[in-house]
Structure 1
Amino acid sequence: MDVDLTPKLAKQIYGGDGGSYHAWCPNELPMLKEGNIGAAKIALSKNGFALPRYSDSAKVAYVLQGCGVAGIVLPEKEEKVIAIKKGDAIALPFGVVTWWYNKDDTELVLLFLGDTKTAHKAGSFTDMYLTGSNGIFTGFSTEFVSRAWDVEESVAKTLVSSQTAKGIVKLDAGFQMPEPMQSNRDGMVVNCEEAPLDVDIKGGGKVVVLNTKNLPLVGEVGLGADLVRLDGSAMCSPGFSCDSALQVTYIVRGSGRVEVVGPDGKRVLEAHLKAGNLFIVPRFCVVSKIGDPDGMDWFSIITTPNPIFTHLAGKTSTWKALSPQVLQAAFKVSPAVEKLFSSKRKLVAAEAEVIGWDMAEPPLLPLKENKIAKGTFAVVGIMSTLVIYGILQQNICASIYNLMYFLSSTWWWNLYLQEKIMRVPYGLNKEFFSYSLFLVFCNRITTSAVSAGVLLASKKALDPVAPLYKYGVVSVSNILTTTCQYEALKYVSFPVQTLAKCAKMIPVMIWGAIIMQKKYQGQDYLLAFLVTLGCSLFILYQGAGDISPFNRGRESTVWGVSLMIGYLGFDGFTSTFQDKLFKGYDMEIHNQIFYTTVCSCLLSFIGLILQGSLLMAIDFVSRHHDCFFDIALLSTVATASQFFISYTIRTFGALTFATIMTTRQLVSILLSCLWFGHPLSWEQCIGAVIVFGSLYARSFLKTKEKAVAPSLEMAETKAPGGS
């Protein structure tokens, strides 16, 4: 096969302030023309508006990034205004008129894949714009336009000539576009990241297939499609389309390797894939993919609505159908080798057979075992680093340094050192370290250095994925969060602060409604109220005796609670905005950590200069070497805890992370009370029961909802496009 199959990136065709249009050129990717396939992308900045148009090709649109609004007008139908977001797939048959609008800060990026058999140019989409400098009505005379629209010629001339931009424009910030209706999504849009899984392979990956059942318009488009999320180092086993269908694949996230073998047994493609690559597998060619350690996601279309695939690995592959004697003769091997071959194939999980998924070499553990290992890794990492972090934090700013506590338990270092940094005097003169912003600076500069090293070592780009000011927003909010947390430790005990953090559900819900436009059910508000009630009981009804043996008589409820309210508000905004960045951009964990902490370094450094406390903090640390050691250890543990937190959220999601954090807080409170003598009143015990009971009830209800959700039996699963 002489056709170049090398994966390609899209090139910009036109653009402006409102956004840009990108396409893959048939001259650079010849299979587009040969297979009559079109591929393009639209990227819209804030207030970007893709003018109304219709196309010469039926296609499938997939939202790669961001969220926005789409207008869709089917032939002889009313306009449907639809809210769209990352992961949405939309079938666009012939004759449909569409427009796209981005009202959010995050760039909205859409992928279009379709069949160009009836197009003006094979391998390319041709859009006919209804307005703009190249709109179709610019070609008509004013007389024809005025009679067609039944308006005066002067009005017709104004309508046709006022819009001087081409394809994409930027609207004024105050311009009001039509509001979408949730009901309009029914039958028009399927979110591939939220839809029920058609295939869930243990240790392999997950697949969502677009079909006439979940997206009826797919039948009119005449294409099949799927989203495949391949786990780290997993393999999509060799297979081919036996009904002459082409496979068009776009890499959405991650990276991996692909090999394609032609009918003559020669390898026609061997390439390393990365996000943004597009490649096409010719008819009857055999394709296989292996994900890198971070995994790989791709969105594919198949040039038939009901593809039939044959796989050459797995328990139901062609090899399993052939008799042992045929295998011996075909391979020209002994019965022992044939038996070994057959027995190895039986090790593949039954559900993996359905679509020919296989384990990469070395074989992965089953998904359940992987989750246990990863879950243990996450829990131990968060528990140990945050407990060490907490001990260090309090230990630098106010109480007597007791070496026996320090040496008695390395596992619970955090609990001790958090009390030590913020509440322990240093030196013979018992000086207190009061430069909390300096702690922020040290923590962030350590984290940024480590994250930069990780990015460079893994050969990942240091370029920002999102606009720099968005990293800055997270940074400012995070600095305010940390500062409030540090200052609060001077006035409230560690148990009070730790349990108060459980009330972060309320600010997260508020910020989620404002920033993410999320809607919550009644039980969510009830649980949030119960958590707040429990925290209030814990804070208002202090235990008998002193709050801390390290800080007698210094408990200040009013000021301490005020600082904690500030902490909760800023912390809720920070996590919500970070979630928005992760969902809106294809962003690596260390990319966000690096740019956020770099911004924090700059801001905290400026703050130290303006306060005039930088030199004083350095002088204090230079005179108290034990304080220097505590700060260095605090910064190291803070860096590690940030990694474990990000890893847990990305691997298991926010709910699992919240459950782990709740468990960590419970253990921290109990240990702090035992270790430092924090007494608990019976009212505080009731408050603790209410808080943790509510949080675990929430986890139980969410788990129960997922358990009763309808799912597809693996035996009934239909093979998606060779993915």
Structure 2
Amino acid sequence: MDLILSSKKADKTIVEVEGVGGYYTWSSSQFAVLSQKKIAAGLLVLQHRGFALPHYADSSKIAYVCEGECTAGLISPEDSKEEVVKIQKGDTLPVTVGTVSWWYNAGDTKLTIIFLGESSEDYTPGEYCYFFLTSAAGMLNGFSNELIAKCFHMNKTESEKLMKDQSSLNLLIKINESIQMPNSSNSAKRKLVYNLDGAKPCVEVKNGGHLSSVSGKNIALLGEVGLSANRVVLEGGAVLGPIFTADWSIHLSYITKGSGRVVIVGLFGKVVLDTKVEEGELFFVPKFFPFVVEADEGGIEFFSLKTSSKQTYGELSSGKKSIWEAASPSILEASLNMTPDLIKSFKSKIAKGAVIAPPSTI
């Protein structure tokens, strides 16, 4: 297995406009595992009134708002209806392959959104390929004025003006205050948006932290595209795991706050990654590889994509779902080479715990 695991910050700037914002990615040349496993990540930053022009991409992804608030528009090629939603910190929003989207920061603070998704059919494996409808890099510029005039039922003067007006636009622009942006829809938000920060945790441990998840059970569209996600908050010194993905899916995580340590164990008990991670970094866990995340003193928070619509994990840690807890005492006695008394004590302690462990008091 030729995988080089690491944790990295975004290293590639796709566009950056002073006073407006920028879009950044993890290049497959610097983070090769993305192209090898056909997954991708992108980071959008918009300042007040910053606007990302309408575009679509060659892959499906989940957007998670790390900070700020945003108005987003989505137009699915299936029904050509624009769905406008207002999203804020903690919200997740699926964006399916071929769906046209735009993003606008109407708030007074900086907006940061992380996009994690699959790239199995991408033109550039490990990186999203975007197709912009407008701007100097827009698709209309590839067609002649004559063709544009015919396609849009314009005369030559009108088509020339349309193309000329596009030539000065960047991919990210600042919206003029005179432009009235469309209103958001509550019904669209109920259908498409799920707030992980405010959701009832799947796991919650006093002084340890909590884990929340979103899947097809919460947003039907995620079930259709085969993606899910979770958010983990660990308090200082707390530990998540060891756990592993118990299906063919893989695990891609972005550190939204704090720092800590990630340890991943591969085949035959070999440590394949043992590294410090911090805010803004991305790390990848291969399928079936158990991993542990240990928070530094200040705690750690991260958002994770799972390339499956189900949240199925094998738990090697404590808790009612622990594999150790499920195994028969005689099997553990033989497998761990321990006495019956030690096995009894071992199982009783496991039963009291959870997949998140608070800081040790020893």
The bucket for the TM-score relative to the shorter chain is over 0.9
Q: Which residue of 1 aligns with 2:17?
A: 16
Mapped to 2, the partners of 1:208 and 1:260 lie a distance apart of: 22
Aligned with 2:331 (options 326, 329, 333): 326
Tell me the alpha carbon deviations over residues 96-151 of structure 1, each in whole angstroms, 9 at most, x when there is no partner.
Answer: 11001112231111111111001111101001000011111111111221111111
Is 2:296 aligned against 1:292? yes
Mapped to 1, the partners of 2:204 and 2:25 lie a distance apart of: 33
Aligned with 2:137 (options 134, 137, 140): 134
Shift of 1:360: 3.9
Aligned with 1:27 (options 26, 29, 34): 29
Is 2:46 aligned against 1:55? no
Q: Which residue of 1 aligns with 2:173?
A: 169
**Is the partner of 1:154 in helix, strand or coil?**
helix
Shift of 1:95: 1.9
Amino acid at match of 2:17: G
Q: How does 1:516-665 map to 2 (within 5 A)?
A: none
Q: Does the 8 Å contact 2:230/2:303 carry over to 1?
A: yes
Shift of 1:361: 2.5
- Structure 1: gaps spanning 5 or more residues: 364-723
Shift of 1:357: 2.8
Is 2:7 aligned against 1:7? yes
Aligned with 1:277 (options 269, 272, 281): 281
Mapped to 1, the partners of 2:236 and 2:145 lie a distance apart of: 60
Q: Does the 8 Å contact 2:68/2:89 carry over to 1?
A: yes
Tell me the alpha carbon deviations over residues 289-328 of structure 1, each in whole angstroms, 9 at most, x when there is no partner.
Answer: 1112322111111011014211112143222222333323
Give TM-score scaled by structure 2 length: 0.93
Which has more helix, going by share of residues? 1
Q: Does the 8 Å contact 1:91/1:221 carry over to 2?
A: no
Aligned with 2:42 (options 40, 43, 66): 40
Is 2:85 aligned against 1:86? no
Is 2:228 aligned against 1:227? no
Mapped to 2, the partners of 1:10 and 1:80 lie a distance apart of: 30
**Is the partner of 1:346 in helix, strand or coil?**
helix
Percent pairwise identity: 34
Mapped to 2, the partners of 1:192 and 1:46 lie a distance apart of: 24
**Is the partner of 2:179 in helix, strand or coil?**
coil
Shift of 1:172: 2.6
Q: Which residue of 1 aligns with 2:272?
A: 268
Is 2:76 aligned against 1:74? yes
Mapped to 2, the partners of 1:97 and 1:287 lie a distance apart of: 36
Mapped to 1, the partners of 2:348 and 2:217 lie a distance apart of: 37
Shift of 1:153: 2.3
Mapped to 2, the partners of 1:159 and 1:195 lie a distance apart of: 46
**Is the partner of 2:135 in helix, strand or coil?**
coil
Shift of 1:346: 3.1
Mapped to 1, the partners of 2:231 and 2:50 lie a distance apart of: 27
Aligned with 2:350 (options 337, 345, 364): 345
Q: Which residue of 2 aligns with 1:335?
A: 340
Q: Does the 8 Å contact 2:194/2:218 carry over to 1?
A: yes
Q: Which residue of 2 aligns with 1:218?
A: 222
Aligned with 1:190 (options 194, 201, 217): 194
Amino acid at match of 1:94: V
**Is the partner of 1:187 in helix, strand or coil?**
helix
Is 2:106 aligned against 1:113? no
Is 2:304 aligned against 1:305? no
Q: Which residue of 2 aligns with 1:366?
A: none
Q: How does 1:249-268 map to 2 (within 5 A)?
A: 249-268=253-272
Q: Does the 8 Å contact 1:61/1:89 carry over to 2?
A: yes
Q: Does the 8 Å contact 2:255/2:301 carry over to 1?
A: yes
Amino acid at match of 1:15: E
Which has more strand, going by share of residues? 2
Aligned with 1:101 (options 95, 104, 111): 104
Aligned with 1:317 (options 296, 302, 322): 322
Shift of 1:155: 1.5
Q: Does the 8 Å contact 2:145/2:159 carry over to 1?
A: yes
Q: Does the 8 Å contact 1:129/1:136 carry over to 2?
A: yes
Give TM-score scaled by structure 1 length: 0.48
Shift of 1:342: 2.6
Change (3 A) 1:209 1:171: same
Shift of 1:37: 0.4
Tell me the alpha carbon deviations over residues 253-297 of structure 1, each in whole angstroms, 9 at most, x when there is no partner.
Answer: 121111000022111111112111111101111111111232211
Q: Which residue of 1 aligns with 2:125?
A: 122
Amino acid at match of 1:50: A
Mapped to 1, the partners of 2:275 and 2:200 lie a distance apart of: 31
- The structure with higher relative contact order (CA 8 Å, sep 6+) is 2
**Is the partner of 2:343 in helix, strand or coil?**
helix
**Is the partner of 1:186 in helix, strand or coil?**
helix
Shift of 1:47: 1.7
Shift of 1:2: 4.1
Amino acid at match of 1:6: S
**Is the partner of 1:217 in helix, strand or coil?**
helix
Mapped to 2, the partners of 1:107 and 1:80 lie a distance apart of: 23
Shift of 1:335: 3.4
Shift of 1:168: 0.9
Is 2:159 aligned against 1:156? yes
Shift of 1:9: 0.4
Q: Which residue of 1 aligns with 2:361?
A: 362
Shift of 1:200: 2.4
Identify which range, 2-11 or 160-169, moves more after superposition: 160-169
Amino acid at match of 1:114: G
Mapped to 2, the partners of 1:108 and 1:155 lie a distance apart of: 36
Identify which range, 228-237 or 255-264, moves more after superposition: 228-237
Q: Find the structure with the greater CA-based Rg.
A: 1
Mapped to 2, the partners of 1:340 and 1:208 lie a distance apart of: 30
Q: How does 1:440-519 map to 2 (within 5 A)?
A: none
Mapped to 2, the partners of 1:307 and 1:203 lie a distance apart of: 24
Mapped to 2, the partners of 1:361 and 1:237 lie a distance apart of: 14
Amino acid at match of 1:9: K
Change (3 A) 1:143 1:38: same
Tell me the alpha carbon deviations over residues 47-70 of structure 1, each in whole angstroms, 9 at most, x when there is no partner.
Answer: 211000000001111111111211
Mapped to 2, the partners of 1:207 and 1:98 lie a distance apart of: 29
Shift of 1:362: 3.1
Change (3 A) 1:101 1:293: same
Q: Which residue of 2 aligns with 1:240?
A: 244
Q: Which residue of 2 aligns with 1:143?
A: 146
Q: Which residue of 2 aligns with 1:374?
A: none
Q: Does the 8 Å contact 1:92/1:221 carry over to 2?
A: no
Mapped to 2, the partners of 1:320 and 1:196 lie a distance apart of: 25
Mapped to 2, the partners of 1:241 and 1:127 lie a distance apart of: 30
- Structure 2: gaps spanning 5 or more residues: none
